[in-house]
A and B are shown apart, each in its own frame.
Chain A
Amino acid sequence: MHISEGVLSVPILAAGAALTVGFTAQGLRSMKAEDVPATGIVSAGLFVASLIHVSLGPSSVHLLLNGISGAILGWAIFPACVVALFLQALLFQFGGLAVLGVNVMDMAFPGLIFGALFRLLFVSRGKWALLLGGFLCSAGGVILTALMTAGVLALNGEGFMAAAKLIVWAHIPVALIEGFVGAMAVLFLAKVRPDMIGRKQGELL
Chain B
Amino acid sequence: MKKIAATLALMVLLVSPAWAHKVCMLSSFEGDSITGEAYFSTGDPIVGSPVTVESNGEEIGQGKTDENGAFSIAIPKGVLSAKVTINAGMGHVAHEDIAREGAPEPSTATEPQAKATAETSVPGVSLEDVKKAVASEIAPVKKMVMDMERAQSKPDMPKILGGIGYIIGIVGAFMWGRSKRV
A interface, CB within 8 angstroms of B: 2-4, 6-8, 33, 36-37, 39-41, 43-45, 47-48, 50-55, 58-62, 83-84, 87-88, 91-94, 149, 152-153, 163, 166-167, 170, 192
Interfacial chain B residues near A4, Cβ < 8 Å: 22-23, 91-94
B8 and chain A: residue at smallest CB distance: A44
B181 and chain A: residue at smallest CB distance: A33
B155 and chain A: residue at smallest CB distance: A92
A54 and chain B: residue at smallest CB distance: B18
Interfacial chain B residues near A50, Cβ < 8 Å: 20
Say yes or no: is B151 at the interface (Cβ < 8 Å to chain A).
no
Are B90 and A59 in contact, with the CB atoms below 8 A?
Answer: yes
Are B159 and A33 in contact, with the CB atoms below 8 A?
Answer: no
Partner of B178, one of A33, A92, A192: A33
In the assembled complex, the CB of B51 is this many whole angstroms from the nearest CB of chain A, namely 14
Are B90 and A52 in contact, with the CB atoms below 8 A?
Answer: no
Question: Once the chains are docked, how many angstroms separate the CA of A107 from the CA of B96?
Answer: 28
Question: Once the chains are docked, how many angstroms separate the CA of A153 from the CA of B91?
Answer: 7
In the assembled complex, the CB of B61 is this many whole angstroms from the nearest CB of chain A, namely 20
Are B15 and A52 in contact, with the CB atoms below 8 A?
Answer: yes
Are A53 and B163 in contact, with the CB atoms below 8 A?
Answer: no
Interface of A is mostly: helix
B158 and chain A: residue at smallest CB distance: A91
Partner of B91, one of A41, A58, A149: A149
Contacts A36-B171, A48-B164, A92-B159; is A53 near B94 (CB within 8 Å)?
Answer: no
Are A60 and B44 in contact, with the CB atoms below 8 A?
Answer: yes
Interfacial chain A residues near B179, Cβ < 8 Å: 33
Say yes or no: is B167 at the interface (Cβ < 8 Å to chain A).
yes
- 15 cross-chain CB contacts under 8 A: A33-B175, A33-B182, A36-B171, A36-B174, A40-B167, A40-B171, A47-B164, A48-B15, A59-B89, A59-B90, A61-B21, A83-B166, A91-B163, A92-B155, A163-B89
Are B178 and A36 in contact, with the CB atoms below 8 A?
Answer: yes
A150 and chain B: residue at smallest CB distance: B90
Are B42 and A60 in contact, with the CB atoms below 8 A?
Answer: yes
A106 and chain B: residue at smallest CB distance: B91
Interfacial chain A residues near B91, Cβ < 8 Å: 2-4, 7-8, 149, 152-153
Are A60 and B40 in contact, with the CB atoms below 8 A?
Answer: yes
Interfacial chain A residues near B47, Cβ < 8 Å: 58
Partner of A91, one of B90, B92, B162, B175: B162
B4 and chain A: residue at smallest CB distance: A41
Are B167 and A83 in contact, with the CB atoms below 8 A?
Answer: yes
17 more CB-based (< 8 A) A-B contacts, given A7-B93, A47-B163: A4-B23, A43-B170, A44-B168, A48-B163, A51-B20, A51-B155, A53-B18, A53-B42, A54-B18, A55-B44, A59-B89, A92-B41, A93-B22, A94-B20, A152-B91, A153-B90, A192-B3
Say yes or no: is B95 at the interface (Cβ < 8 Å to chain A).
yes
Are B21 and A94 in contact, with the CB atoms below 8 A?
Answer: yes
Question: Once the chains are docked, how many angstroms separate the CA of A44 from the CA of B7?
Answer: 11
Say yes or no: is B141 at the interface (Cβ < 8 Å to chain A).
no
